[in-house]
Amino acid sequence: MFLAISLTDPLMLVILALGAIILLVAVAACIVNFLVYFRYFVYNKKNSADQSGFEAARQMLDNLGMTEYNVQKCGFFRMMIFGNSYSPGKKTIFLRGSIMNTRSITAVAMACQKVGLAVLHHNNDKQFISRYKLMFITVIGPHTILPLLIIGLALDLIVFFSGSLIFTLVALFAGLALFICSGVFTFLQIPVEKNAVKIAEKTMIDFNMLDQAQLVKVRKIYSVYILNFILAFIMQILQAIRVILQIVYVFAGDK
């Protein structure tokens, strides 16, 4: 009975259609992730300059006069949360061990892209600074709805014995707001990452770090790398819309 009624409800149909779109985007994201790792693997070959990721990053920094910036291997927790990354606070490029010590096209490409982020920071790029200030929300935003919901329920049912579920609703909307903000901030990452890619490509060409054939492969790595960010943004926005529609549906059904 409920299923029949639900399927004749326009709002529920929109929610189901959105769920199908999210599934398609998730499949596309999986394919792109596969392409990322596939190209990492295929191009994990010795580069023409015979440099490791660490050596390429260090050379690029030194040639650009950024000798005060560091390159280090990232620890376990940083690797799990951020992976290959740049820390503006520490002025340090953190690389996974597989990138840090490997003499391959992939290692040089990813190390130099992170140097590109350091260059943006060094130049006080406004988009980079904005992204850095909002990074915390970008990381935690997608994971806050459930914990906040549990806290709200605990306050309503255990602490205040409230039947109105006011704290639950406040927690739900706060988590949703953080989720939406996270999606917006993910969008802000796209132009920053693209600018870092442009800097990396230009620098590799200027200092003859790779030959032309290898630069073509580097661009292929960067193309799927950026596409990954775009799909992540689309996924977050679609999921936020789905949650909003589900909340509207629940409240509409209670009236």
95-120 pLDDT, tens digit per residue, is 999 899 989 888 999 999 999 999 99
Please provide residue 93's backbone torsions phi and psi, each rounded to the nearest 5 degrees. -95, 120
Question: pLDDT averaged over the chain?
Answer: 82
Tally of domains within the chain: 1
Q: How far apart are CA 146 and CA 215, in angstroms?
A: 44
Q: How far apart are CA 181 and CA 200, in angstroms?
A: 29
- Domain limits for position 91: 2-254
The segment with the largest mean pLDDT, out of 7-16, 22-31, 76-85, 237-246, is 76-85
Structure confidence at residue 188 (pLDDT): 81
Virtual torsion, Cα 106, 217, 192, 37, nearest 10 deg? -50
Contact between 249 and 13 (Cβ < 8 Å): no
The segment with the largest mean pLDDT, out of 22-36, 53-67, 238-252, is 53-67
- Number of residues that this document lists for the chain: 255
The segment with the largest mean pLDDT, out of 127-136, 138-147, 239-248, is 127-136
Name the residue type at position 244. I
Structure confidence at residue 254 (pLDDT): 52
Average pLDDT over residues 163-190: 79
- Residue 163's pLDDT band, with cuts at 50, 70 and 90, is low
Q: How far apart are CA 23 and CA 237, in angstroms?
A: 13
- DSSP conformational letter for 160: S
Contact between 242 and 26 (Cβ < 8 Å): no
Structure confidence at residue 234 (pLDDT): 82
List, for residues 194-233, the tens digit of each pLDDT value: 999 999 999 999 998 888 988 998 998 899 889 888 888 8
Lowest mean pLDDT segment, chosen from 33-37, 72-76, 97-101: 33-37
Query: If DSSP states are collapsed to H, E and C, what string results for 226-243?
Result: HHHHHHHHHHHHHHHHHH
CA distances from 221 to 27, 41, 218, 227 (A): 20, 10, 5, 10
Contact between 230 and 190 (Cβ < 8 Å): yes
Name the residue type at position 38. F
Over 70: is that where the pLDDT of 25 sits? Answer: yes
Strand 70-73 and strand 92-95: the pairing is parallel
**Through-space distance between the first and last CA atoms of the chain, rounded to whole angstroms:** 19
Contact between 183 and 230 (Cβ < 8 Å): no
Judged on CB neighbours under 10 Å (0-12, 13-18, 19+), 193 is: buried
Q: How far apart are CA 17 and CA 34, in angstroms?
A: 26
- Residue 3's pLDDT band, with cuts at 50, 70 and 90, is very low
Residue with more model confidence, 12 or 123: 123
Q: How far apart are CA 74 and CA 52, in angstroms?
A: 15
Structure confidence at residue 121 (pLDDT): 96
Q: How far apart are CA 113 and CA 93, in angstroms?
A: 10
Over 50: is that where the pLDDT of 176 sits? Answer: yes
